[in-house]
Structure 1
């Protein structure tokens, strides 16, 4: 490398430094390839940076390798933490607020009941729910619907509910109309099957479990998210989309949703919603979206006993 002209050497280092940033150009164009990469991105960039750095130090193009490795780490930081930057949706009309909460209850179903009831939410969406928790929450929420064998999601409301659409092949959850005193709004409450491997196999629908080591494919997950986004887009009422969507906020599917919806949790800083064995992936997969025209205030994340998810809560409603 010592015999190379300075200009050529500098160009090589510059190209190496710029190359990782192509991620932001290609991430929505390579389909399932970048969908998978987005899920494991924090770990992927560390592995790539370390391997390239070691190879570069041992080889001739040392500075180009160092530039590529450092730039790769920076791309990982921007891609991971960029979607957590608060931007807010505006201020909620104080006379038309809805305290809205969502949670994936995990294995601690009954143990988490007190935490959910203490939120005193007007509307509550619970993923991975079963009959015992449904019965417990029903004591405080007379208006509720729940599915225990398909998407395993329950919706509880202080106000009357109308079921617009039940769970089906294109909807891992419910579309509901909430008849609130301040005006009707629709809720798309979903528990989208996760597009990665699990030792338990396909748990989304036990009646059709085919024994595959994943809940759904990446392509099918993308299709389901597109279906949710399409429902929200064509609804002529205010719409709230909530639940464990198993969709990382640095992935293509998140951007499919935010084409039509605002992220209500970005009234404050975002954070990973999944903890436990998946904590290293730094994924925010539990979401609360509102259709433009609605805003959010007082967002927060809360722990749930024995769950590998943090719950989320926010005051939402028509913008002031």
Structure 2
């Protein structure tokens, strides 16, 4: 009985052990499977070992699926609604251009962007800003944008004021460096320049998420936050963000957003959030050619009364 309860301590300790549980959260499905198989095989003649193995698998399933459960973000006032989309375009930059344009989004946030795609999208979105050398992110809008903050050591993206016809709001568009190994991809090299094969440390990733959350907390306007956070929704950084934000994608069931070689980790790291008082409808995920991410799009705006 006690052995079967031990894995459930994950839910008590996951926010208490800092970077240790941050790393475990990323690899949880695979770690749980390997642990269960190993313990189950070695202790196959002992009920306690089998109970621990089965319980470990169940905990991993619950921890993975629970953040995907729809929570009813509320109904948007259709007279003041607009579409926001985000995508990590991946290595085939121009291959996904038609997919992005076909979305018809009012505001589009694109990670891993470079000059060719920026030029292509700017033909349909003349209002845009982009950074190719830091977080590699571009924001494209049908409405005027005012840059409040540019990318810097404490902000892997932009803070923008969007002058939508129905209401002005602030947009925090980010591409947070990933806190694990990499052999290429993003222009981020905060740690890799020193010969260490990852984009940033787990601790610094957490610091950047804290910086984003702090900007949300002190902003007294409606806020939309979107981009590639490289933050799994079963980790403490996601829970830090959702202290003051609602997950717009939970208008429907969540799902892993990273595919390809990372599929087995079952991570949802691309996010779209709104500050309470705003709601989300018609959220969905879409495929991007060549990219190892699914894109996301949602209708957001003030909640219907």
Please classify the TM superposition score into its range, dividing by the shorter chain length.
over 0.9
Deviation at 1:203, TM superposition (A): 3.7
Deviations 1:127-159, CA, capped at 9 Å, x for gaps: 000000000000000110000000000000000
Structure 2 equivalent of residue 285 of structure 1? 269
**Cross-structure match for 1:254:** 238
In the alignment, the residues of structure 1 paired with residue 299 and residue 185 of structure 2 have an alpha-carbon distance, to the nearest angstrom, of 36
Q: Could you tell me which residue of structure 1 aligns to residue 103 of structure 2?
A: 119
Residue among 55, 59, 62 paired with 2:42 = 55
Based on CA coordinates, which of the two structures has the bigger radius of gyration? Answer: 1
Deviations 1:165-191 (A, max 9, x none): 000000000000000000100000000
Counterpart residue number, 1:138:
122
Distance change in 2, residues 1:208/1:64 (3 Å): closer
The residue number in structure 2 matching 1:194 is 178
Aligned to 1:6: none
**Pick from 138, 151, 154: which aligns with 1:167?**
151
Distance 1:122 1:71, change over 3 A: same
8 A Cα contact 1:304 1:310, kept in partner: yes
Q: Among residues 15, 25, 46, which one is paired with 1:38 in the alignment?
A: 25
* TM-aligned CA distance change 1:252 to 1:236, over 3 Å: same
RMSD: 1.3
1:92 is aligned to 76
Taking the TM superposition and a 5 Å limit, the aligned residue runs for 1:1-320 are: 14-57=1-44, 62-200=46-184, 203-205=187-189, 209-320=193-304
Distance 1:27 1:167, change over 3 A: same
User: Structure 2 CA distance, aligned partners of 1:298 and 1:305?
Assistant: 22
Contact 2:39 2:53 in 1 (8 A): yes
Structure 1 moving runs of 4+ over 6 Å: none
Aligned mates of 1:95, 1:156 — CA distance in 2 = 22
How many residue pairs align between the two structures?
304
